[in-house]
Amino acid sequence: MNDIIKLLWIDDNLFHDLTEKRMALYMEEDIEPHFATDATDAFYRLRSEPFDVVIVDLRLPPGPDDMWETYRASNFQKYGYALLCTVLGEQKDNFDHLKETRFGVFTIEAQEENPELFEAPIRLAEKNFKMKTHAYHENAFIDFIRHVYKSWR
Amino acid sequence: MEPGMPPAMRQEIRDAFEQIRGLPFPIYAGDSAGNFLFVNEQAAEFFALNPALDPSVYRITTYYENPEERAYVLRRLQEVAPGAWCRDIAVRLKVHDEFRKIRFVSKPFRDAQGNLCGLLCIALSMSDIEWFAEFEEMVHTGFFEVDRNLVIADCNQAFARVLKYGSPAEIKGQPLANLFWEPRNIALLADEITKSPHIEDRRIKLRRKDGAMVIVQMSCIGIAGETEGIARVKGTIRDATFEIIQHDLPVGLFLVNTDQNGEDIISRANRTFAHIHGYESSDEILSKPIRMFHPNAAAYEAFKTELNKATANGQPLLDYYMEVQDRLGKKHNVVANVRYVSDENHHLRVGAVYDVTDHLRGHTRTLEADFSSILHTYIATINGLRDTMTMLLKAHGEDLQKDETHLDRLRAAAETLRSKKRLETLLAELLKTAAERGLADDPSLARMSKLVQRLALGDTSADKEKDNAALGRRILLEFRKQLDVLRALNLPREPVRNLRAEVEELLRLTSMISLSISLDELNERIPDFYYFRDYLRRGELVQQEFRPNNVVPILLDSVHFLEEFAAVRQVSVVLEFNQRDHIPVLCHRNSLNRAFHNLLHNAIKYSWNKGSERRPWVTVRIEKKDDTVEILIENWGVPIRREELESRSIFQFGKRGRESEDRGRSGTGIGLYDAHDIISKHGGSLRITSEPTFGNLPDMYSNPFITRTYITLPVAP
């Protein structure tokens, strides 16, 4: 039997435009989906439990926590990026339990617009980045999750 | 008079005085104590002495601006060789409250022991140039003299410096033609000087020794000779090249200084900088605090932060885009390049500002026009899609409809539950038959059992409606596939047919639910699309084009347009005014409609449910007050933070309130900016308050607030 992939998908549109893709995950026997819709929600989910795969949208709302104050001042919008920096960078000591977690980015933006994702502290593998427009069919998205699961940071 | 002066000495001084008293200068003799001994007429006049009195009643020391300075003069005279004249003592005297710069040419007289006991003085008035002559080498004004052959006869160091020559000697004897950038202008200039010998502040292009051009500001005087018209020309030049650049460059240049109160003040600026900020001349903008030209304190601090960041990296702040406002409040889009002046501890900065407003406006207009037409087509497509969806609902869900366009979702949910139960029963019957026929272990049947179990597990709460319908449909599609596999098994056809029929019914129900929810979502978004299209298509508001219109139907238009949106949001719009009222305002109808649409849309969008007993509502009131009309839109729900109201950041373009993303509420951050702009241009005001209710704390933004929007407009006469 295949491993069960414990997935956290972080996207503010999960309950709107992405409903069908989200429901498709429930039909996959090897995926145990969990969801978060803003950076604050995601931060606390990640701090409290391990996941095999975390898929992040870049343009996330910050959510209510004050930890994002420094970003707010400059009209920042990519709280997905801020979340990754926090979890994998400045606060990584609090996230030891995510050592085996593989991260992926699923976003409307192009890879070229986000070169910082591939540098420290995130160091995302290029193949773990997928544009939403390149995964119109839900199978492409599910394949992407399985690919991220098999990848190594 | 000094008592101890020997008569012989006095006579000697007198003789010396008599020899020169006829010269046309103030001449006097005095003793070492400063008493006048003898004065000629010019000296009496110069020092305003009463000719009826003995001059010895006056003392030269009383005329010194600084009396101690005389001691210095006497010390200098002590050093002069016997019988010699001292020619370089310059002092400032005060005669009847008037300061006079004087050069003394003095001859000291000493007794047998060599002590100074008297002196003879010629007082020569000095011009400012003579007075400051010792600074000549430091002066940047070039002096020159040209002879009748148009050759440089004389010049000072500054003249040579302006033209990049090493010394005056190097330039003396050069024909003027070598120095003029356009030699043909020499004849014209000479002709002009002949006609009018005084020329002031003429801009002339000269050629430097290195071949480069320098533009100077020249003043000169033509001096007539004995036989010919003009024998020589004397004048001054000043390098004005950078002055011209500063003056004529179509870029705002500035220098900002931090004063003793820590305020950043404009200390120098060129004309373009003044124009960008709404002033005619650069003098008018001097000493103004620079922050007054930034739209708000936060914007100014953001600029300073970026400047400091760049400085910390050893860089100037380059191509910083920002919005500034001129003294009349008109917005300009500018790009600034700024740096701190070194060694000034961030207290002095210089920069250049480009006004890119028109450029940006042109680009924006093109983009807006293009995008609005795309959006227009998109809206048409969406409207067509909405009609089709409505028709599909009618065609396949007529039995579930609440009215012409809406599904009764409670009924649909109940029907779905009943259908699921039937499906379970039918499957149970089939499984029983299958067991009887030895097919209990068939994998398709096992899979179908599992799928039905998952179907039954669905959370039936209202906020899971969309998920349940979507997931249920996926399960049923999988179930239907398994039904196809059953054809190969030895099973009775009727139960399988019944199962398939029930699956189709469930698929219909879940599809109708999904369709209805999607239609609601579409209806929720459509006002945004319409608003954004109208915003992009807006023209300039020209007050001359305003017409008197009754404000009541304009407001009602917005209310009716948003009815569907309010229905989807389950918000009631309560109108507390007489819809037949006639309150004329001078307005641009479409723009005012857009502003109302916006404010009402916000009130509906950000409303919360106030409790189970009543659905949320928005109250709209109109009150006529003398020569104004006040429209109040009140809702209860998502708060606007106090600091956002105080800083008025909610009225900034593209700014959304921090709480506005509550529960996925989308928005552009343009609406309030636009509404404020429209209402201001109608001579009205827009005021917003947001306050906690039920005694909640003012900073607890997780609680609902009452938000009130007051629109005040002048009533048309």
- Model confidence over B264-282: pLDDT tens digits? 999 999 999 999 999 999 9
In a domain, B81, yes or no: yes
**Residue B518's pLDDT band (cuts 50, 70, 90):** very high
A61 close contact with B: CB closer than 8 A: yes
The Cα–Cα gap between B268 and B350 comes to: 9
Give the closest-approach CA distance of B470 to chain A in angstroms. Answer: 6
B467 to chain A: which residues are within 8 Å by CB? 15, 19, 22-23
List the single best residue of A19, A28, A70 to mutate versus B (max B Cβ within 10 A): A19
A-chain residues near B475 (CB < 8 A): 27
Q: How many domains does the structure of chain A reveal?
A: 1
**Which one of B305, B309, B464, B467 would you mutate to disrupt binding with A, by most A Cβ within 10 Å of its Cβ?**
B467
Same domain? For B461 and B575 the reply is no
Q: What is the distance in angstroms between the CA of the first residue and the CA of the last residue of chain B?
A: 92
Cβ separation of B467 and A23 shorter than 8 Å? yes
- Do B500 and B563 share a domain, yes or no? no
- DSSP reduced 3-state for B5: coil
Helix axes B443-457, B409-436, angle to 10 degrees: 150
Instruction: Name the minimum distance, in Å, from the CA of A140 to any CA of chain B.
Output: 17
Percent composition of chain B: helix, strand, coil (DSSP 3-state, to 5): 45, 25, 30
Contact B521 A16 (CB under 8 A): yes
Chain-centroid distance of CA B534 in Å reads: 27
Among B470, B475, B654, select the one facing A19 at the smallest CB separation: B470
Residues of B in contact with A59 (CB under 8 A): none
What pLDDT is recorded for position B662?
A: 60
pLDDT digits (tens, 9 = 90+) for B638-658: 899 998 898 888 888 877 777
Query: Is the same domain home to B646 and B669?
Result: yes
Q: Encode pLDDT of B294-341 as tens digits.
A: 988 888 998 999 999 999 999 999 999 999 999 988 889 999 999 999
| Contact yes or no for A37 and B474 at CB 8 A | no
- B515 and B553 together in one domain: no
Range of the domain at A30: 5-150
Return the higher-pLDDT residue of B690 and B667: B690
Give yes or no for B3 touching A (CB within 8 A): no
Q: Does A20 touch chain B (CB under 8 A)?
A: yes
Same-domain status, B571 and B690: yes
Per-residue model confidence as pLDDT tens digits over B57-84: 899 888 887 777 888 888 888 888 888 8
Q: Do A27 and B478 touch (CB under 8 A)?
A: yes
* pLDDT value of position B69: 80
| Among B470, B475, B654, beta carbon nearest to A20 | B470
- Per-residue pLDDT, averaged over A131-142, amounts to 83
Q: Is B471 on the interface with A (CB under 8 A)?
A: yes
pLDDT band at residue B667, thresholds of 50, 70 and 90? confident
Residue linked to tokens 């019988």: B83
Residues B223 and B232 sit within 8 Å (Cβ to Cβ): yes
Q: How many domains does chain B have?
A: 5
- Judged by a CB distance cut-off of 8 A, whether residue A75 touches chain B is yes
Q: Which residues of A touch B474 (CB under 8 A)?
A: 23-24, 26-27
| CATH number for the domain harbouring residue B524 | 1.20.1440
| CATH code of residue A30 | 3.40.50.2300
For B18, the enclosing helix (H) or strand (E) is helix B7-20
A15 to chain B, any CB pair closer than 8 A? The answer is yes
Asked if B664's CB is within 8 angstroms of A12's CB, the reply is yes
- Which of B194, B213, B245 is at the close of a domain? B245
- Within 8 A of B655 by CB-CB distance, chain A residues are 75
Q: Do B302 and A37 touch (CB under 8 A)?
A: no
What are the backbone angles phi and psi of residue B359, rounded to the nearest 5°? -60, -45
Residues A20-45 have a mean pLDDT of 94
- Of the ranges B434-443, B609-618, B621-630, B682-691, which one carries the lowest mean pLDDT score? B609-618
In a domain, B522, yes or no: yes
Mean pLDDT within B690-704: 82
B612 has a pLDDT exceeding 60: no
Q: Which site among A75, A138, A142 would you substitute to test the B interface, given the most B Cβ atoms closer than 10 Å to its Cβ?
A: A75
Burial of B27 (0-12, 13-18, 19+ CB in 10 A): buried
Helix-then-strand count for chain A, H and E:
5, 5
Task: Look at A75 and B654 and tell me if their CB atoms are within 8 Å.
Answer: yes
Is B77 in the same domain as B225?
A: no
Whether B151 contacts chain A with CB within 8 A: no
- Co-location of B552 and B680 in the same domain: yes
DSSP B246-302: HHH-SSEEEEEEE-TTS-EEEEEE-HHHHHHTT-SSHHHHTT-BGGGGSSSHHHHHH
| pLDDT at position B2 over 80 | no
Q: Is the pLDDT of residue B611 over 60?
A: no
- Chain B residues close to A64, C-beta within 8 Å: 702
Q: Which two tokens stand for residue A90?
A: 């400045």
Instruction: Determine whether the interchain pair A61/B661 forms a contact, defined as Cβ–Cβ distance below 8 Å.
Output: yes
pLDDT at A153 over 80: no
Instruction: Supply the CATH number for residue B120's domain.
Output: 3.30.450.20
The predicted-structure confidence for A91-115, as pLDDT tens digits, reads as follows 999 999 999 999 999 998 888 889 9
Distance between CA B131 and CA A119 in Å, rounded? Answer: 69
Task: Give the confidence band of B456 by pLDDT, cuts at 50, 70, 90.
Answer: confident
Q: Which of B184-193, B219-228, B391-400 has the lowest mean pLDDT?
A: B219-228
Are B284 and B344 found together in one domain? yes
User: Is the per-residue pLDDT at B468 higher than 70?
Assistant: yes
**Contact at CB, B664 and A15, closer than 8 angstroms:** yes
Same domain, B127 and B138: no
Tell whether B521 lies on the interface with A, counting CB pairs under 8 A: yes
Is the CB of residue B470 less than 8 Å away from at least one CB of chain A? yes
Instruction: Describe the crossing of helices B493-537 and B589-605 by its angle, rounded to 10 degrees.
Output: 130
Residue A12 to chain B, least CA–CA distance (Å): 7
Of B71, B105, B131, at which residue does a domain stop? Answer: B131
Residue B25 belongs to some domain of the structure: yes
Q: What is the mean pLDDT of residues B565-578?
A: 92
Q: Which range of residues forms the domain containing residue B308? A: 257-355
Does the beta-carbon distance from A15 to B466 stay under 8 Å? yes
Closest by CA position to B670, among listed B678, B662, B682? B678
| B301 interfaces chain A, CB cutoff of 8 Å | no
Query: Are the Cβ atoms of B470 and A23 closer than 8 angstroms?
Result: yes
Tokens of B270: 């060129």
Distance from C-alpha of B281 to C-alpha of B270, rounded to nearest angstrom: 8
Helix (H, G, I), strand (E, B) or coil at B92: strand
Domain limit, last residue, from B498, B528, B558: B528
In chain A, what residues touch B528 (CB-CB under 8 Å)?
none
- In this complex, is the C-beta atom of B664 within 8 Å of any C-beta atom belonging to chain A? yes
In chain A, residues with a C-beta closer than 8 Å to the C-beta of B466 are 15, 19
Residue A40 contacts residue A14 (beta carbons within 8 Å): no
Distance from CA of A137 to the nearest CA of B (A): 15
Do B474 and A16 lie within an 8 Å CB cutoff?
no
B233 — pLDDT class (breaks 50, 70, 90): very high
- Average pLDDT over all residues of chain B: 89
DSSP letter assigned to residue B73:
H
Q: Is A37 on the interface with B (CB under 8 A)?
A: yes
pLDDT over 70 (residue B350): yes
Give residue B103's pLDDT: 87
The per-residue pLDDT for range B32-41, each reduced to its tens digit, is 888 999 999 9
Alpha helices (H) along B66-201: 69-78, 128-131, 157-162, 168-171, 176-179, 184-195
User: Which chain A residue has its CA at the smallest distance from B472's CA?
Assistant: A23
> What pLDDT, on the 0 to 100 scale, is given for residue B712?
97
Q: Give the pLDDT confidence score for residue B66 in this predicted structure.
A: 77
A19 closest CB neighbour out of B467, B654, B655: B467
The whole-angstrom separation of Cα B655 and Cα B673 is: 9
B404 in a structural domain? no
Q: What pLDDT is attached to residue A1? A: 44
In the three-class reduction of DSSP (H, G, I as helix; E, B as strand; rest coil), residue B391 is classed as: helix
CB contacts of B521 in chain A (<8 Å) are 16
Q: Is the dihedral of CA B192, B195, B198, B201 positive or negative?
A: negative
Q: Which residue has the higher pLDDT, B693 or B587?
A: B587
Quick check: B702 contacting A, CB < 8 Å? yes
**Distance in angstroms between the alpha carbons of the first and the last residue of chain A:** 25
Asked, for residue B36, whether it belongs to a domain, the answer is: yes
Position B287 scores a pLDDT of 93
Closest chain A residue to the Cα of B451, Cα to Cα: A27
- Tell me if A20 and B466 make a contact (CB, 8 A cut-off): no
Residues B534-543 pLDDT 10s: 898 887 777 7
Residue of B nearest to A20 (CA): B470
Where would I find the H helices in B437-569?
Answer: 443-457, 465-486, 493-537, 551-561, 563-569
B263 and B232 share a domain? no
Span B170-176, average pLDDT: 94
Average pLDDT on A112-133 reads: 92
* A55–chain B nearest CA distance, Å: 19
Distance from CA of A153 to the nearest CA of B (A): 32
CATH classification of the domain holding B640:
3.30.565.10
Q: Do A64 and B664 touch (CB under 8 A)?
A: no
Dihedral (Cα; B72, B76, B77, B80), 10-degree rounding: 170
Q: Looking at CA atoms only, how far is residue A96 from chain B in angstroms?
A: 31
Cβ-defined contact of A24 to B474 (cutoff 8 Å) = yes
Partner-chain contact B474 A27, CB within 8 Å: yes
C-beta neighbour count of B443 within 10 angstroms: 9
